[in-house]
């Protein structure tokens, strides 16, 4: 049982509260535009995401773990290599979807936080994909045209992607 700010002693209760709080906070990340100023695909962005999602639950939110961890028989990056692994992940290319997925896989193997890696890393992946792939494609896919209505000449953008909640 992980020590938590909520004072919960039941793993089931903690899991329920963690899910409830982190889902609410995840929506806020998007709705409040918190992700907009974060560097896509960088560990510093993942730290901000993790801290935001879990700061009400864990003291270590957004901080690199201080213990070795495993899930089942799989051991995540050992502490002695963790910081170097994170620096290398930051340097990986991210100009297309395949490169971003490779970064995501490496970040998952690193598992930099004590708890909440999956939720925060999926948001980090979304942010990198939207920023580095979808928005540029969306911009290239748009054609600017003028309406022929003489009362209002509005610019109209016809896009092949509809990602309104991520639009900048």
Examine residue 1 and state whether it is found in any structural domain, yes or no. no
Examine residue 74 and state whether it is found in any structural domain, yes or no. yes
Examine residue 95 and state whether it is found in any structural domain, yes or no. yes
Examine residue 3 and state whether it is found in any structural domain, yes or no. no
Examine residue 2 and state whether it is found in any structural domain, yes or no. no
Using CA atoms, how far apart are residues 119 and 34, in angstroms rounded to an integer?
Answer: 16
The whole-number pLDDT of residue 158 equals 33
Examine residue 4 and state whether it is found in any structural domain, yes or no. no
State both tokens at 159. Answer: 């896009």
Strand partners, 158: 143
Of residues 165 and 53, more confidently modeled: 53
Examine residue 101 and state whether it is found in any structural domain, yes or no. yes
- Residues 83-109: what's their mean pLDDT? 95
Going by pLDDT thresholds of 50, 70 and 90, the confidence category of residue 167 is very low
Q: Coil, helix or strand for 79?
A: helix
* Domain count along the chain: 1
Closest CA to 126 of 85, 163, 72: 163
Going by pLDDT thresholds of 50, 70 and 90, the confidence category of residue 135 is low
The CB-side HSE value for 93 (13 A sphere, CA atoms) comes to: 5
Of residues 19 and 145, more confidently modeled: 19
Instruction: Write the CATH number for 134.
Output: 1.10.3290.10
* Torsion sign over Cα 65, 118, 52, 162: positive
Closest CA to 68 of 58, 50, 80, 57: 80
Using CA atoms, how far apart are residues 168 and 150, in angstroms rounded to an integer?
Answer: 29
- The predicted-structure confidence for 44-81, as pLDDT tens digits, reads as follows 999 999 999 999 999 999 999 999 999 999 999 999 99
- Residues 135-151: what's their mean pLDDT? 49
What mean pLDDT is reported for the chain?
84
- Residues 115-139: what's their mean pLDDT? 83
What does each C-alpha distance from 147 to 13, 160, 164 come to in angstroms?
Answer: 56, 19, 22
pTM: 0.80
Q: By residue range, what is the domain housing residue 126?
A: 11-166
- Residues 99-103: what's their mean pLDDT? 93
Residue 141 has pLDDT above 60, yes or no: no
Examine residue 104 and state whether it is found in any structural domain, yes or no. yes
The whole-number pLDDT of residue 160 equals 30
Contact between 31 and 19 under an 8 Å Cβ cutoff? The reply is no
Strand partners, 126: none
């Amino acid at each position: 049982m992980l020590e938590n700010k909520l004072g919960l002693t039941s793993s089931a209760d903690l899991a329920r509260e963690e899910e409830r709080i982190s889902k609410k906070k995840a929506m806020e990340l998007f709705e409040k535009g918190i992700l907009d100023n974060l560097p896509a695909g960088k560990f510093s962005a993942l730290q901000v995401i993790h801290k935001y999602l879990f700061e009400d639950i864990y003291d270590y939110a957004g901080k690199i773990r201080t213990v070795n961890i495993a899930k089942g028989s799989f051991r995540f990056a050992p502490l002695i290599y963790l910081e170097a692994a994170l620096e290398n992940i930051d340097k990986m290319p991210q100009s297309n979807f395949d490169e971003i997925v490779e970064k995501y896989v490496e970040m998952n193997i690193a598992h930099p936080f004590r708890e909440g890696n999956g939720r925060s890393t999926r948001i980090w992946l979304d942010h990198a994909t939207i920023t580095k792939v979808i928005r540029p494609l969306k911009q290239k896919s748009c054609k600017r045209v003028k309406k022929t209505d003489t009362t209002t000449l509005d610019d109209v953008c016809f896009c092949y992607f509809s990602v309104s909640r991520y639009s900048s």
